[in-house]
Amino acid sequence: MKNKISNLDIFIAKTCNLSCSGCITFSDSKLVKGITHYTKEHLAFWSQYIEPAYTNMFGGEPLVNPNLEQWLAGCRKYWPFTNLTIQTNGLRLDKQHLDLIKEYNVSYRISQHLANYSDVVWNFINLALESGDFKPWVNENGPVQNGYGEDRGWIDDQGNYIQLTESYKEEVWWPFYKGTGTNSKPSHSYFSNDFASSWNTCVARSFVNMYDGNLYKCPAVAGLLVNGSALGLDKDTDWQDYFSQYKRLNLHSNSVTIDKWFDNQQGPQSCCNMCTRGVSTQADAQILVDAKVKI
């Protein structure tokens, strides 16, 4: 029996064209670079063992990956019934990305981090509306809204959607660790015995991440272990236990190992100590956003 999971984030780009302080995947530095080339063997293997409700192209910024369409085609082939999405900051959106919607039944989750590229985002949305395929997204509760109570969803007859969150309006950023970039620090020691408190408040606790064919508990853990070495965090004594103790799920693991890993992944683990505890919507429980375009 396959492991059913709510969300599989496929880490197809380490680099990002923005630099947002406290980025969940530690992609907020020019030191972090690289994309993940499409490798069908990774999807072919995992399609035997997992069934994701949502499969999300993720980064960094996934639109910088020239293999994006291959990733979409591969995911549609190996998980034909998954809800296929792209998580993007929207800065690179253009007509070619609109064409992908019909080709692969893909949706866009746009998190706009800077006000000064609104024209790019809205040009893309207006193209979608002008096609006649998209209409305001309404469900049984009324208009679908973003995190700020704004109606920012459009959907077509196949269920593909475009959702915009103008996150640059946000005054705070959810903290998955302390600091940012090379100054990043875990909130607690890896061996702290209260990691369940962090897990209980986590908004990404069920999101499995894939990078280079291996699976990680969540986007923050994947970001640390995939991008952290570029920032020198693997040599930082505060982080070393996270690098040495956490066990990812490796490509070509056997079925017993896979099932055991997923049983553990769905609950709190010691790696959850990297994040804060008792997070609320209060500004003093979070860190300020510092978003800027990389040069």
Chain segment 169-218, per-residue pLDDT in tens: 776 667 789 888 899 999 999 999 999 999 998 888 899 999 999 999 99
**Distance separating alpha carbons of residues 287 and 273, to the nearest angstrom:** 17
pTM of the model: 0.93
Segment 276-294, tens digit of pLDDT: 887 655 444 445 555 555 5
Is residue 224 exposed (0-12), middle (13-18) or buried (19+ Cβ within 10 Å)? buried
HEC profile for 180-236? Answer: CHHHCECCCCCCCCCHHHHHHHCCCCCEEEEECCEEECCHHHHHHHHHHHHHCHHHC
Which fold, 3-293? Answer: TIM Barrel (3.20.20)
C-alpha distance from residue 105 to each of 73, 76, 134, 220, 288 (Å) = 10, 8, 13, 28, 36
What DSSP designation does 2 have?
Answer: P
Under DSSP, the state recorded for 29 is S
